[in-house]
Chains A and B, each alone.
Chain A
Amino acid sequence: MSTATVRESQLSSKTRLSTLAATRLVALREISTQVRSKSFIISTLITVLIIVGGIVATGFFGGDDDDEQIPVVTTGISQDVQQQVEEAGFSVTAADSMPEAEQLLRDGDVDAIVTADQDSPVGVRVIGVDEAPTAAAQQLSVAPTVEVLEAGGTDSVMRYFAAMGFGLVFMFVAMGSGVMIMQNTIQEKQNRIVEILLSAIPARALLAGKILGNSVLALMQALIMGGSAALGLAVSGQLAFLQMLSWPMLWFLLFFIPGFVLIASVFAASASLVSRQEDSGSVMTPAMMLVMVPYFVVLIFLDNEFAMMVSSYIPFTAPVSMSMRLFDDAVEWFEPIISMGLLVLTTALVMALAAKIYSRSLLKMGQRVKLTAAFASND
């Protein structure tokens, strides 16, 4: 199979991989196999379509065309009133007489006639053809000044959508990648390639590579989702919304990374306990709960300040809850930093535990490995 000369030349060119290099290789494989898989490409495309399409559609059906000026014709009103009407955002045509104005209205060139009326409190009368010109009338109405005592800065619909957005993105991405990590780990264990892998690289490199690769993928997905949302908002002209989201968005990304790594470690460690896909159910449920909790917490406790405050410090819910509170502008400057510190600390701790469980149960086949047994082992 080999000649001595070939062996000699090969000897010099290879060295034992460092854990870091091995981690990178494993991560690259995770990324490249998933990115090239049909299911990944298709599901990403569908997600982008749904998000962009959804936002554009809501913008199209829900938003009123504020910018469009209603064409009206004025007649028999003073110069002052004429100016006021123009300022109210109408495209104004002036007519010399009522019949002339009426002709314009009947021809469909304008939507309404605005004329002076002493009996009206506003001083003008609005005339339509066959139905009341409500739009024009509303624009001319006088509304009382409205004030809210506790101004949150954002309206409630927007808050609700933001909460849904943060929660959904985190849940979807974490769930998708978590299941992927779990499947890959069990698959490696089930078809025993794990023995070959472990004879080449340490278990912690395998775990770290898996987490790193999937975290990069997850972040990519989150960015794609965020990007699609931004694209949708831009296309439908709702840029103001975008500006409001940008700061909390950045925090969300910052929280997302350790938050995701935390979830990924839990999934990988859980998966290493079983040796067959059929057994994954029992270990998957607790991990899944961890992923779904943040979403439901923000939706249920959105208006409960205390619950939001508490959950914004619990590492598993922090990425979503803290982002939401940041969006509401309801935090002191040090709060996200403390919460982030707690999250990073927990993540490091859970990762260390996960590495322990992972390397100790990876080679145990057959029955589900008990957690206590995994810890008692000394590999």
Chain B
Amino acid sequence: MLELHDICRSFSGRQVLHDVSLTAERGQLTGFVGGNGAGKTTTMRIILGVLAPDSGQMQLDGVELGSQARSRFGYMPSERGLYPKMKVAEQITYLARLHGYSKPEATHRAVDLLSQLGLSGRLKDPLEALSLGNQQRVQIAASLVHEPDVLILDEPFSGLDPFAVDLVLKVLSDKAASGAVVLFSSHQLDVVERLCDDLVIIGDGKVLAAGGREDLRRRHGTLRYEIASEADLSWVQSRTGIRTDESHENRVVFRAEESAAQELLRDALQRGPVTSFVPVLPTLSEIFREFTNDSAPTVPQEASR
């Protein structure tokens, strides 16, 4: 388990992280969401030791995070980058060696991994000769070649074609299944919602909410109900104490206090058979919007899609 406690960080006098605390469990995917400039990349760089925190502690499995543990971290930066003119296999081998593998072992691992990613025919080509999709695969190889125990990925899905998205998804799930810590940030909230077991929402350098996905959905956002009946439901609109979001003849989605909702259900039962009555949990984007609206008046468009 990766833990951050009260991490603070300033850049030239401007504080960008305020007491950031979060945990990422082994064996599951942890999503890290927040608008532009919320502090995601800075937090990730601090976890990786690329930047130093001004204060705060970090632990992996209860042990203070040091360079030894960090040598088993894999990182994919948001703006991808490798040496454009270096040959693909040579490049990945070099990175493996920087992570401490001996030369023959590094070569073996690099070739193996690149072949698994479907690049066995391109090993001796310079990176810049590859298509963008294939360059992304090399980038994935770069973050995996040293068999990381903790994977930190900054926007791993941005700019990927659907095939590459599937590939990355598979890689992440496999890594998590093998017991690694997988923390990734994304603007694509639908993806995060679909994939992540745990979520951390950050805004303006502060952790706004964190926890299990379902738990967050239950705790945050406005609770809504959906009721469907064989009888006409148009009367619901004019009822006091509730607000309808969607209204059809036989189906209505509305917001209300729990007691008001129960009362509405009783009335509906008297008018005809109710086929379904369920609470509608807020989507992640709704929760996200709620938080970011609270913390920052201007929410970047791409963050709240």
Interface residue ranges, A against B (CB under 8 Å): 1-2, 4, 6-7, 10-11, 13-17, 22, 25-26, 29, 33, 187-188, 190-201, 363, 373, 376-379
Contact = CB atoms under 8 A, between A and B. Distances in A.
Given A1-B178, A7-B178, A198-B48, 7 more contacts: A1-B144, A1-B171, A198-B50, A199-B48, A199-B75, A363-B51, A378-B52
13 contacts: A1-B116, A2-B178, A13-B102, A14-B99, A14-B100, A14-B101, A14-B146, A22-B98, A29-B94, A188-B83, A193-B81, A199-B49, A378-B54
Nearest to B170: A1
Contacts of A188: 83
A190 B49 CA distance: 20
Nearest to B97: A25
A193 B138 CA distance: 12
Nearest to A191: B81
Interface residues of B, number: 44
B81 A192 contact: yes
Contacts, number: 98
B283 interface: no
B305 to A, nearest CB: 25
Q: Which 4 A-B pairs have the closest CB atoms?
A: A192-B81, A191-B81, A195-B77, A14-B100
Nearest to B69: A16
B86 A33 contact: yes
B12 interface: yes
B95 to A, nearest CB: 7
Contacts of A1: 116, 144, 171, 174-175, 178
Contacts of B79: 192
Contact of B95 (A11, A15, A187, A200): A200
A192 B77 contact: yes
Contacts of A194: 81
A16 B12 contact: no
A151 to B, nearest CB: 56
Contacts of B99: 14, 17, 200
Nearest to A205: B98
Contacts of B49: 199
A11 B73 CA distance: 13
B84 interface: yes
Contacts of B255: none
Interface string B100-139: 1110010001000000100000000000000000000000
A1 B12 CA distance: 42
Given A2-B147, A15-B100, A25-B94, A196 B178 contact: no
Nearest to A32: B90
B71 interface: yes
A369 to B, nearest CB: 10
B259 interface: no
